[in-house]
Structure 1
Amino acid sequence: MSGMAGEQAPGAQPRPKAAKAVAFMIAGFALSLVEFVLIVVGTVVGIATTVIWVGIPILMVTTSMVRSFGDLERRWARKMLGTPLPSAERGPVEGGLLRRWRYHLVDPTTWRDLGYLMLVFPLSVVEFAIGITSVVLLPIAIWVAPWIGWMHGSLALALLGPDRAERLATKAQYLQASRARGVDAAEAERRRIERDLHDGAQQRLVAVAMSLGRAKNKLGHDPVAARELIDEAHADAKLAVSELRDLARGIYPAVLGDRGLDAALSAQAAKCPVPVDVRVDIEPRPPAAVETTAYFIVGETLTNVAKHSGATQAEVKVWRAEEKVIVEITDNGRGGAELRAGGGLGGLADRAATIDGVITVVSPAGGPTVIRADLPCKW
């Protein structure tokens, strides 16, 4: 089963793989050179021949080329750099050629496309030189190329992506959906707590009360039977206390608040039947909401590993990355895990969404399975 990624926050430029970044830098130079030459020549010739009207159709064609090249650059950056660039929204225009051309000239997207195409050519010259050097020096390619690809993708996202109003609207929609999923997750958690109380501790306490009542009635004439009932009530009371303790631990584990995430995850790993290696490096300590979310993501994932994966080894890594905490759980099981609505991993994604976190699942058939959570420390 191929990996499935969770819902991504809008407007985030990922860091591309080194091979794709190098290919983008080398091949992108030829593409940028052709685009730059055609646009500059078309613009210069069109303006120079406007006085004899020949320049008007040349400028029309050049304007169309700018828009087409802009669309091509969006697809190119999306494919090679993973830049989340949506296609440009270009509304239909009625009327003749001059009317449509006038609309294209006043469309801000056209000028943003032109600005990007003019800027990217000198940039592509530098990138081409670095790309050729990266091919020769492999360590440079592995470390430098992804960062150059990230910077180029960020530039493309800024100039070719939606304008500020559209980005804000998209982010608002994302946050609204994230909050809705968080509310659903909280409601599901509330129902689980109610069910555990009703089916567990509450039933135990009712049994305690009934046993004590019966013992009270027998205390005068049958002390032996009364003692047996008191012993039974005592055993039920201890079970009720144990169940309440487990329930409280499921709401917020005391070890997490007292000793932090490293100790809490180590305690979880010790209870897992599959050997688990735990590595935590999250200084400074993140907010309590992030710690709690990370704790439950790891706990649920390790439960799934033990029940369904067939793994013989698992690893939990948690680290800080700027203003995020990254949680990554890996196992060597059979793979095939899916992130789907209503499933266990879907529930983890909903829990992460309460703090604008994102869950990503990569689980090809035959394994290994990698489940990653990106949890922001600021909202």
Structure 2
Amino acid sequence: MATEYGQGYGLHAGPGHPGNAEGRRHRLPAALRAPVEGRTWRELGYVLLSLPISILLFTYAVTMVSLGAGLLVTFLGVPVLAAALAGCRGLGSVERARARGLLGLEVGEPEPLRAKRHGLMGWVGAVLKSGASWRSLLYAVIQLPWAVLSFAVTVTLWTLGWSLLTYPLYFWVFPAYAGQDGIQLYGDEQRRIYLDNPFEISVTAGVGLLFTLATPWIVRALTMVNRLMVHGLLGPSRLATRVVELESDRGVVVDTAAADLRRIERDLHDGAQARLVALAMDLGLAKEKLREDPQVAARMVGEAHGEVKTALQELRDLARGIHPAVLTDRGLDAALSSVASRCTVPVQVEVDLTERPAPAIEGIAYFTASELLQNVSKHARATRAAVEVWRSENRLMLQVEDNGVGGADISRGSGLAGLAERLDAVDGILVVDSPAGGPTRVTAELPWRAERAR
């Protein structure tokens, strides 16, 4: 497994790289530039469009569902109701595209329809049984009241803020064309109060500035509710998402198992098998030389004896790579201590477990620590390392830390990415903290599953 510590160390993003603070630095703070940012205007456009679109959605949903419900006494009611739900699904696709374009919200497609039989009735049954169809209908119904509230609040605040802020620019309009001294704050038969002197005009503009600066954040908070509705009602359900994740994880497990089998076959073919073939040939030659030249035959047998020892060591290493006996017999503490003893730097091992986890989880934790310590030996240029294992509620925690050069990056498709995929296949998590210059801290979380009676 190649983590490529050295290659990642010392590399810095360019000026325009998203991860570089220099490329993202602005002259104005966020509070001051919010009213003129593109994101703010896109969110404003989303809120303004939501009102007419929500009216269309609500009208279509209520009309079609009411028509379908009214026709349920006949055969036509069920297909009409299915058509209403299908239309809501189609309009939901438009809403996902609008949220993607204006809010930057990426929402996946809901689970597709799965008809158990062909024909119209099969399609109708699939639509009616689909949870995504009913969630789209619910979205069409509840979107309207929220859109009305968002539209009213947004238009009121934007109009008020910009009107007060620009009041010094159009103040002359009131005495010139309206026949009054300015914006009227209060008036009755005896007294009227206008904003007409320089101080009052300045205060009005200041209040308008506060409204103008605050409105984008209020609109952003309103659109957060829209994001939640689109994500929760128009996207895939948690169950469907979980099924997709499990299918992906199953593919990772199958690929990993196939890769391990190929590695074992290659190691056997290129290592122990080749050595045993050569050993058999050497013993055959020694047998032929036994009568003619016993001394040469003895020397050849001695060399063959050394080859046997080497082949046995290779077989032991291969067996240890498949599943070490010390892990099965004595658990993680002894197995990790054995791995640490073969590391090129001193390693402190601390295992704090009151009971053993399930063999599968224990094996994954062992091989994760082994590969991380192999990285330390090959790439980290460290002088010491530490391995800690403990249980936190229903999670098994494993942490490997070294004082090397750092620069390990899981996003570059290195061996760490493959290790993360293996952990993800069992609902595990791999977190890498490796700044340039070190230290590197890799934390793995695995689900805790208690060991069954052996």
TM norm structure 1? 0.58
Q: Residue 202 of structure 1 corresponds to which residue in structure 2?
A: 273
Q: Is the 8 A contact 1:281 1:319 kept in 2?
A: yes
Q: State the 1:322 CA deviation.
A: 2.3
Q: State the 1:310 CA deviation.
A: 1.7
Q: Is the 8 A contact 1:282 1:325 kept in 2?
A: no
Q: Residue 180 of structure 1 corresponds to which residue in structure 2?
A: 251
Residues 219, 260 of structure 1: CA spacing in aligned structure 2 closer, same or farther, 3 A cutoff?
Answer: same
Q: State the 1:346 CA deviation.
A: 2.3
Secondary structure of 2:268's counterpart equals: helix
Counterpart-to-counterpart distance in 2, 1:281 and 1:356: 22
The answer as to 2:126 corresponding to 1:107 is: no
Q: Residue 339 of structure 2 corresponds to which residue in structure 1?
A: 268
Q: State the 1:225 CA deviation.
A: 1.3
Q: State the 1:193 CA deviation.
A: 1.1
Q: State the 1:275 CA deviation.
A: 2.0
Q: State the 1:220 CA deviation.
A: 1.6
Q: Residue 362 of structure 2 corresponds to which residue in structure 1?
A: 291
Which amino acid letter does the alignment assign opposite residue 374 of structure 1? E
Question: What's the CA shift string for 1:116-165, capped at 9, x where partnerless?
Answer: x9xxxxxxxxxxxxxxxxxxxxxxxxxxxxxxxxxxxxxxx998863596
The answer as to 2:382 corresponding to 1:336 is: no
Q: Is the 8 A contact 1:337 1:361 kept in 2?
A: yes
Q: Is the 8 A contact 1:330 1:369 kept in 2?
A: yes
Question: What's the CA shift string for 1:41-95, capped at 9, x where partnerless?
Answer: xxxxxxxxxxxxxxx99x97xx9xxxxxxx9xxxxxxxxxxxxxx767899xxxx
Secondary structure of 2:260's counterpart equals: helix
Q: State the 1:356 CA deviation.
A: 2.9
The number of aligned residues is 255
Where does structure 2 lack aligned partners over 5 or more consecutive residues?
1-7, 10-50, 59-95, 97-104, 111-135, 151-226
Q: Is the 8 A contact 2:357 2:449 kept in 1?
A: no
Which one of the candidate residues 206, 217, 232 is aligned to 1:162? 232
Q: Is the 8 A contact 1:328 1:372 kept in 2?
A: yes
Counterpart-to-counterpart distance in 2, 1:329 and 1:113: 49
Question: What's the CA shift string for 1:22-46, capped at 9, x where partnerless?
Answer: xxxxxxxxxxxxxxxxxxxxxxxxx
Counterpart-to-counterpart distance in 2, 1:89 and 1:345: 27
Q: Is the 8 A contact 1:339 1:361 kept in 2?
A: yes
Which one of the candidate residues 360, 363, 368 is aligned to 2:434? 363
TM norm structure 2? 0.49
Counterpart-to-counterpart distance in 1, 2:419 and 2:273: 28
Residues 201, 331 of structure 1: CA spacing in aligned structure 2 closer, same or farther, 3 A cutoff?
Answer: same
Counterpart-to-counterpart distance in 2, 1:111 and 1:238: 79
Q: Residue 379 of structure 2 corresponds to which residue in structure 1?
A: 308
Counterpart-to-counterpart distance in 2, 1:301 and 1:112: 54
Residues 218, 348 of structure 1: CA spacing in aligned structure 2 closer, same or farther, 3 A cutoff?
Answer: same
Residues 109, 293 of structure 1: CA spacing in aligned structure 2 closer, same or farther, 3 A cutoff?
Answer: farther
Counterpart-to-counterpart distance in 2, 1:112 and 1:371: 48
Q: Report which structure shows greater RCO (CA 8 Å, sep ≥6).
A: 1
Which amino acid letter does the alignment assign opposite residue 257 of structure 2? A
Q: Is the 8 A contact 1:333 1:368 kept in 2?
A: yes
Which amino acid letter does the alignment assign opposite residue 446 of structure 2? L
Q: State the 1:255 CA deviation.
A: 0.8
Counterpart-to-counterpart distance in 2, 1:106 and 1:247: 58
Q: Is the 8 A contact 1:182 1:353 kept in 2?
A: no
* % identical aligned pairs: 48
Counterpart-to-counterpart distance in 1, 2:419 and 2:438: 20
Q: State the 1:213 CA deviation.
A: 0.5
Q: Is the 8 A contact 2:139 2:229 kept in 1?
A: no
Residues 239, 88 of structure 1: CA spacing in aligned structure 2 closer, same or farther, 3 A cutoff?
Answer: closer
Counterpart-to-counterpart distance in 1, 2:315 and 2:138: 69
Counterpart-to-counterpart distance in 2, 1:188 and 1:225: 44
Residues 351, 113 of structure 1: CA spacing in aligned structure 2 closer, same or farther, 3 A cutoff?
Answer: farther
Alignment of 1:1-379 (within 5 A): 107=140, 110=143, 162=232, 166-340=237-411, 343-378=414-449
Counterpart-to-counterpart distance in 2, 1:202 and 1:89: 50
Residues 354, 341 of structure 1: CA spacing in aligned structure 2 closer, same or farther, 3 A cutoff?
Answer: farther
Report which stretch shifted further, 204-213 or 276-285.
Answer: 276-285
Q: State the 1:113 CA deviation.
A: 8.0
Q: Is the 8 A contact 1:356 1:375 kept in 2?
A: yes
Residues 368, 112 of structure 1: CA spacing in aligned structure 2 closer, same or farther, 3 A cutoff?
Answer: farther
Counterpart-to-counterpart distance in 2, 1:304 and 1:371: 11
Counterpart-to-counterpart distance in 1, 2:240 and 2:230: 17
Q: State the 1:168 CA deviation.
A: 1.1
Where does structure 1 lack aligned partners over 5 or more consecutive residues?
3-55, 64-70, 72-85, 92-102, 118-156
Which amino acid letter does the alignment assign opposite residue 367 of structure 2? F
Q: Residue 189 of structure 2 corresponds to which residue in structure 1?
A: none
Residues 104, 211 of structure 1: CA spacing in aligned structure 2 closer, same or farther, 3 A cutoff?
Answer: closer
Report which stretch shifted further, 362-371 or 285-294.
Answer: 362-371
